[in-house]
Structure 1
Amino acid sequence: MEKLISESLIIVLYVDEAWPEDESRPGFLPKDPYGRAITHFWSDFVDKKIFDAALRTLQAKGEEKEGALKELYDNLITLESGFAKLDAKPFFNGPSGYADISLAPFVAWLPSFLELAGIRLPTVDEAPHLHDFFSAIREHPAAKVAFRDQEKLITYARMLHEQWAAST
């Protein structure tokens, strides 16, 4: 029987459980229950607060868009506080950590959000840990391969943006 699993982060959890960590592959989640809970919290925060607000900045207009822009900015400041509280440098729990894997796609989409939605990122002074993460993830070998054709992603985001605009 073929086993299919949908959703990237659920696949990451499956891999973490199906192939336990060893010398060749670190685990995606911390071993201790508290560390796992915190990791799940930040991953969920990224998925439900960062990505949702970012998408609304592309889809919304007028006051709703302004609200989404403010919400995204505030959520990024909250994320910064999470990095600072955990003294994460530059990753939450390592370059292969679950929370970091959940945030990495935002870095890939970031140029599109900046160009199409006019989002304002917190400055380096306001969010040094977040900027360190952005830089570190862009330099990660897996990300370099995945992010190498940024212009294609921006073109795709423009097409989605135009479709959303035409449908309202």
Structure 2
Amino acid sequence: MAGEKKGLQLLDFWVSPFGQRCRIALDEKALPYEYLEQDLGNKSELLLRSNPVHKKIPVLLHDGRPVCESLIIVQYIDEAFSSSSGKPPLLPSDPYARAQARFWADYVDKKVYDCGTRLWKTKGEPQQQARKEMVEILKTLEGALGDKPYFGGDEFGFVDVAFVPFTAWFLTYERYGEISVDKECPRLAAWAKRCGERESVNKNLSPPEKVYEFIGTLKKKFGIE
């Protein structure tokens, strides 16, 4: 894309946990970037041109060249700026540990958002099934965390970046699914609090109440009451 702006630009939407992953990764690397908020109801020409396949956010533009899909963006940030940022890598250097990190990030992608959506979009038996699944998902992730401070060990890393934006959605999941993360997954709750104390996380996560209000707006829009 000749003539495009140099540097980093992020096409994003404020409440998106997928976009927040990218913002956290950029801040972990102390990389300056331009944030471009998108209207998903009226998608911009830049977004449609930058992600013609999926036509969705987030998209990272690096010197005008687009990188799409949040986990791929996070990995790109980690690799493209591994030496220039002077910050520790998000992915471990050991190939097996890298494979494990990618596995759990992929698990988060496949499970959490979809199940969480069913918690607030459905009622009755489907909602009860989603509640049961969400508890299982969170307990599985808590098992992967174990007694470690972070998923990769002592350092905040790739799986933490992938999963931590969803902690801002825990309040919504709790209210619609009648789940208590503190009671049912105390180690996960402690991890969420630990991550929330990091500047990169604290400044980029949407306040849980705002997420809950946003979902309430969506429910009215879709006629779900």
TM-score by length of 1: 0.84
Cα deviation for residue 148 of structure 1 reads 6.1
User: Could you tell me whether the CA contact under 8 Å between 1:29 and 1:36 is conserved in 2?
Assistant: yes
**Correspondence for 2:188 among 122, 130, 142:** 130
Counterparts of 2:217 and 2:195, CA distance in 1? 26
- Which residue, out of 126, 136, 151, partners 1:92? 151
Q: Which has the larger radius of gyration?
A: 2
Does the CA contact (< 8 Å) of 2:104 and 2:159 recur in 1?
Answer: yes
Indicate the residue corresponding to 2:217 in structure 1: 159
Which whole-Å CA distance do the structure 2 matches of 1:39 and 1:121 have between them?
Answer: 26
Q: 1:51 to 1:31 in 2, by over 3 A?
A: same
CA separation of 1:72 and 1:149: change in aligned 2, threshold 3 A: closer
Structure-1 residue corresponding to 2:68: 6
Alpha-carbon distance in 2 for matches of 1:111, 1:161: 16
How far is the alpha carbon of 1:62 from its aligned partner? 1.4
State the number of aligned residues.
161
Match of residue 101 from structure 1:
161
Kindly provide the CA deviation profile for residues 96-115 of structure 1, in whole angstroms up to 9, marking residues without a partner as x: x1100111111112222223
Using CA pairs under 8 Å that are at least 6 residues apart, name the structure with larger relative contact order, 1 or 2.
1
Q: Is this contact kept in 1: 2:170–2:181, CA < 8 A?
A: no
Match of 2:88 among 26, 46, 55: 26
Aligned with 1:114 (options 167, 170, 174): 174
Structure 2 CA distance for partners of 1:75 and 1:149, relative to 1, 3 Å:
closer
Greater strand fraction, Structure 1 or Structure 2: 2
Q: What is the aligned-residue RMSD (CA, Å)?
A: 2.2
1:50 corresponds in structure 2 to: 112
* Shift in Å, 1:123: 4.3
Tell me the secondary structure at the aligned position of residue 4 of structure 1. strand
Equivalent of 1:61 in 115, 123, 127: 123
What secondary structure sits across from 1:146 in the alignment? coil
Change in Cα spacing, 1:39 to 1:17, as seen in structure 2 (3 Å) is same
Contact 2:145 2:188 in 1 (8 A): yes
Which range moves more in the overlay, 74-83 or 15-24?
15-24
Shift of 1:13: 0.8
Say whether the 8 Å CA contact 2:128–2:177 is kept in structure 1: no
The percentage of aligned residue pairs carrying the same residue is 34
Gaps of 5+ in 2: 2-63
Specify the SS of the correspondent of 2:104. helix
User: Which secondary structure state, in structure 2, belongs to the residue aligned with residue 27 of structure 1?
Assistant: coil
Deviates more, 1:97-106 or 1:12-21: 12-21
Q: Deviations over 1:100-134 (max 9, x none)?
A: 0111111112222223x13413444x533212211
